[in-house]
Chains A and B, each alone.
Chain A
């Protein structure tokens, strides 16, 4: 169970990093690429599986 929560914390951390990069990014094409990755992390953090 503790492994599961470590996984969620890591996922949340990566999501925050992605979000920061997303807002800093000037090119909308790269923003789309980041957003596509973020969808997976949103579902994981919300524990929708």
Chain B
């Protein structure tokens, strides 16, 4: 066999393809390495979601669960971050809380990465970055930026129509991978349904009294800068929102629709004894009007296109002239989280006392990086 010219070029091109495969392969694999968190000294134990539902063992969504237990008995609070891994403030608030909080009365349970599978990929056709960085006094800390949905490589294929169980509600097929359309979940369902089932089992077995699911949404979405609550938690929600308004933090109260199924604020409340709250902030990178899509947009939240939309007055959007920086979004979530717990305590329930969490103005002035450990 003689070596032809075409074989020489083929060999060179094949080597180049192999090099590209190695480089890109390493980048894809890096998205699977677990992020490192640095819990505060108040941490008493850790667990995994598979402790509550063994069907999650060995899957991407066997997420770590962090427990902070006070010396005095009180109520139990659950804080869920990363339900939608493309909503950066959600996961970041959970990290900030678990790296600072001290619990003196009651218990706090934190799941910073509720849908870990979603952190291993990005949404297709969105040009989203794989990571974003938060500056801290000791250097930058990098966080994963993921997809709204469970990775299709962990749950595939999508049905044409997603039929929610047990309600029978029908949604677009891709919603089968949306954790916040899967509650109360099923032990023999898809990975997303199993994850939802595991979280509901945790709420039941740990006798959780108050639960938070943190989110972000595009500036043009109507339910934004809002607290969505189940009807049984209305008094707590409205008391908290009253306090927040008195502080100058505008928050919309949104009652969970009784006929919209699969969402945490509906199904946690219907299937368990918990008081559920879902909180939303405004994140321009999720919006349809955004221009250049970059890690800076996640952190700084400045979009000239949204500014034009704001100035036009033609749209009802949650976007300020200075943008929607991560500091303000995190500050809103942390403050809303605190005020809801304070309202819950004031209404005569067994208390939960959380200490060492920054106030709204502290986060705005010092930045989020002042309250998280620098990456190693």
Residues in chain A within 8 A of chain B (CB atoms): 3-4, 7, 22-23, 25-26, 28, 31-32, 35-36, 38-39, 42-43, 46, 48-49
The interface residues of chain B lying within 8 Å CB-to-CB of A31 are 6, 9-10, 13
- Contact mask for chain B residues 188-207; partner A; CB cutoff 8 A; 1 contact, 0 none: 00000000000000000000
B29 touches A48 (CB 8 A): yes
Q: Which of B7, B25, B120 contacts A46 (CB under 8 A)?
A: B25
When C-beta atoms are compared, the residue in chain B nearest to A31 turns out to be: B13
B21 touches A42 (CB 8 A): yes
- Contact mask for chain B residues 162-200; partner A; CB cutoff 8 A; 1 contact, 0 none: 000000000000000000000000000000000000000
In the complex, B121 has a CB within 8 A of chain A: yes
Q: A35-B13, A35-B17 are in contact. Are A49 and B6 (CB under 8 A)?
A: no
The interface residues of chain A lying within 8 Å CB-to-CB of B17 are 35-36, 38-39, 42
A43 touches B28 (CB 8 A): yes
B25 touches A23 (CB 8 A): no
- Contact mask for chain B residues 112-125; partner A; CB cutoff 8 A; 1 contact, 0 none: 00000000110000
B7 touches A49 (CB 8 A): no
C-alpha gap A12/B46 in the complex (Å): 42
The interface residues of chain B lying within 8 Å CB-to-CB of A26 are 6
B24 touches A43 (CB 8 A): yes
In the complex, B260 has a CB within 8 A of chain A: no
The interface residues of chain A lying within 8 Å CB-to-CB of B225 are none
In the complex, B271 has a CB within 8 A of chain A: no
The distance from the CB of B328 to the nearest CB of chain A, in whole angstroms, is: 35
A25 touches B156 (CB 8 A): no
Interface centre among A32, A46, A49 (most CB of B within 10 A): A49
B157 touches A3 (CB 8 A): yes
In the complex, B16 has a CB within 8 A of chain A: yes
B9 touches A49 (CB 8 A): no
Q: Which of B7, B13, B21, B157 contacts A43 (CB under 8 A)?
A: B21
The 10 A-B residue pairs whose C-beta atoms are closest, nearest first, are A28-B9, A35-B17, A48-B25, A49-B153, A42-B21, A35-B13, A31-B13, A26-B6, A39-B21, A48-B28
B10 touches A49 (CB 8 A): no
The interface residues of chain B lying within 8 Å CB-to-CB of A4 are 156
C-alpha gap A23/B13 in the complex (Å): 11
